[in-house]
Amino acid sequence: MTMAMQLSALVVAATAALLSPAAPPRCIAGLISGESGARPHIRAPVVTPGGGRTGTALTIRGGGFQPGTRLTIAAVYGGNGCVIEGLGDQYLTSARADGRGSYAVSIHWPSTFDPVLGRNEIGTRALPRGAYYVFALPCGVRAACSFTSGTQPGGPFVLGQARASPVVWIAAGLAAAGALLGALIVRRRAAR
Q: Rounded to the nearest 10 degrees, what angle do helices 3-19 and 166-191 cross at?
A: 170
Q: Residue 132: name the closest of 71, 64, 53 by CA.
A: 53
Q: Are 11 and 174 in contact (CB under 8 A)?
A: yes
Confidence at residue 2, expressed as pLDDT on a 0 to 100 scale: 64
Per-residue pLDDT at 17 exceeds 50 = no
Taking CA 39 as the corner, what is the angle to CA 38 and CA 42, rounded to the nearest 5 degrees?
Answer: 135
pTM of the predicted structure, to 2 decimals? 0.73
What is the Cα–Cα distance from 192 to 177, expressed in whole angstroms? 23
Amino acid letter, residue 192: R
Residue 129's φ and ψ, nearest 5 degrees, are: -70, 150
Q: Residue 101: name the closest of 151, 143, 49 by CA.
A: 151
Q: Where are the domains positioned within the chain?
A: 23-165
pLDDT digits (tens, 9 = 90+) for 118-143: 765 667 889 999 999 999 999 877 77
Identify the CATH assignment for 23-165 out of 2.60.40.230, 1.10.10.60, 3.40.50.2300, 3.40.50.620. 2.60.40.230
